[in-house]
Structure formats: structure tokens, C-alpha cells
A and B are shown apart, each in its own frame.
Chain A
Amino acid sequence: MSVNPKKNQVDRTAFSVAFTVGLYGAAFGAAGVTAGFSILQTCLLSILLFSGASQFAVVGIMGAGGAAISAIATATLLGFRNTLYGLQMAPILKVKGFKRVLAAQITIDESTAVATLQDNDEDRKRGFYLTGIGVYVFWNLFTFLGALGASAIGDPSVWGLDAAVPAAFLGLIWPRLKNKIQFLVSGVAIAWALLLTPVTPAGIPIITTVVLAIIFGAKK
């Protein structure tokens, strides 16, 4: 095989993204166990669901005493952006059957982002698969280690895990806040959720903020 510097660059980007993002898996693993999930249940979310924000939402809502249906609904809405990524990637990947199932499973923020950074379809494909598979491997490995670590710890507050979880969420939102409207929407959503908490069942204060997204998103 000839040496191709472009290819090396795609590989390097894919690896560094996969490894860094994979490390967050430890935070998720700890969050799952802290929320009362077993190590198996926590790891299954990373293996099967495999979409960070949705996974954190499931354990967050169940941990707060929410119903399974609100956890599922919230996770589904959070995962809808992966549908849009699939739309973008399908014409580039052109896969069918079982390969499409595999490609779908690794269609996440990071694999799509690395693919869209490339300037031709061959590199886009390479970037997508390497990043997707890389994140999958590291995310699952670190989820397990995080879950194992957290289950060895007794009271999560003693180690600050109770604050690590919302801090991890904050880290997921931060890169999405690019203008004043988005900061405003974020603030309104927090206020909404806190106001509803004393008066509605757990999970409702979170899922109903979708109304805010519709109100703010519908106007130009």
C-alpha cells in the first residue's frame, strides 16, 4: 500500500476524537450506577443505545424517579438528530442490508462530524467508519470501567459524583450554545423544569421543555 498523507490525517483525527469522546464513557458509567442501574444495565445502554446525550437522559430521569415512558420519550427526542445525520450520510455510504444496520448504529455526532470535515467521499466514508467504530470501542470500554469504579464507591456525594453528572450534561450543551437566543432558551428551559418539579411527576419537567424548542424554533 502506498503512503497517503491525507489518509493518515483522517485516521489521526478519527482516533483522537474516538479516544477523547470514549473517555466520557467513564462519566456515563459512573452516572448509570449512581442512578441505581446495575453494571449490566449501564453497559447495555452503551452497547445498544449508543448515543451519549440520550443515555445520560435515561439514567438521569430514572434516577430521579421518573417513569420509563418519560425516559424513553426524552431519549428518543434527543436521538432524533441521529436521524438527520443518517440522511446526510446515506448518499455517501450507499450501504444495504446488514451493513446498513451497522452503519446506522454508529451514526452519531462524532462520526458524522469527522465525515463532514473531509473534502471527498472516499475520505468521508473512511472518517465516518473509523470514528464511529473507534468511539464505539472506547465508549463501551470506559463505560464499563466507570460503572465498575462507581459501584466500588458507596455514597456518591462523598466523591462528588452527584455534581459530576450535571457537569457532564453541561459539557454536552456548552458547544451547542452559539448565540444569545440559544443561551436564553437554555435558561428558560432550566427555569421551566425547576418550576414544574414540585408540581408534576418526575420526568415531566424535562420532556415538556420540547414545547419551548417548538416555540423558539418555529419563529424565524
Chain B
Amino acid sequence: MSAIWIAVLGASLTAFLNKYIGHSVPEKWLNRPVFVRINALVPIVLLSALVGVQTFTDKKEIVIDQRAAGVFVALVALKFKAPFPLVVISAAITSAAVYNWF
């Protein structure tokens, strides 16, 4: 089985366990304040790291290319409270423009 298949099936299994356990354990086990605070930060750090890696790296190198321009435009769009599809499309158009014309 390829690594991608393992990732697809493995992550699907743990995702379901996450959801199902929530429905099945007593509430007091998991709602301690420190736990809730850490958990609120977990998506922020993981997703931020992914943005950094996907925008500024190529294999193991740090690079600044058309993607940085696209993500910058997305950031501006979010600042102006643009809806999600517009954020993604504006990033794609910017990046494609830089890639194709420069």
C-alpha cells in the first residue's frame, strides 16, 4: 500500500475516533480549562505552519516566488473581510499572473 493510501485511511480512522469518543465519554474528562486553552491554539499553530511551508518552501529550501504574491493578496482580501471563495480566487489569479508573465 502506498504512503498516500496509508495517510488517507489512517487519518480517516483517527478522525472518526476523535468524533466518536466525544459522543461517548463523560464530559468532565476533557473539559479542563488548560486543556481547552491549548486545544484552541492547536489549529492556529498547525495551520499557520502549513501556510508558511506551502508559501515559502520548495522541497527543503526557503524560496520567495509567485506563491508569496498570491498569499499576500489573500491576506489583504481577508483584511477587507472578503468571502472565502474570493480570497482563494484572488490568490490564484495573482500567483498565476506572476508565474506566467514574469
Q: Which residues of A contact B (CB under 8 A)?
A: 20, 23-24, 27, 36-37, 41, 44-45, 48-51, 53-54, 56-58, 60-62, 64-65, 67-68, 71-72, 74-87, 89-91, 93, 95, 100-101, 103-105, 107, 157-174, 176-177, 182, 185-187, 189-194, 197-198, 202, 205-207, 209-210, 212-214, 216-218
Contacts and interface: CB of A to CB of B under 8 A. Distances in A.
Contacts of A167: 70-71, 74, 87-88, 90-92
Contact of A194 (B34, B53, B75, B89): B53
Contacts of B14: 72, 75-76, 79
B36 to A, nearest CB: 7
Nearest to A89: B23
B62 A210 contact: no
A187 B47 CA distance: 11
Interface size class of B (residues with CB under 8 A): 35 or more
30 contacts: A44-B8, A51-B15, A53-B43, A62-B3, A62-B4, A64-B57, A68-B6, A75-B15, A82-B15, A83-B19, A86-B21, A87-B25, A89-B22, A157-B66, A158-B96, A163-B91, A163-B94, A164-B92, A164-B95, A165-B54, A166-B74, A176-B43, A182-B41, A185-B45, A189-B46, A193-B49, A206-B50, A210-B42, A210-B46, A213-B38
A48 B16 contact: yes
Query: Which label, helix, strand, loop or mixed, suits the secondary structure of the A interface?
Result: helix
Interface in B47-102: 47-57, 59-62, 66-67, 69-71, 74-75, 78, 83-85, 87-97, 99-100
Contacts of B24: 86, 90, 100
Contacts of B69: 163
Contacts of B4: 36-37, 41, 62, 68
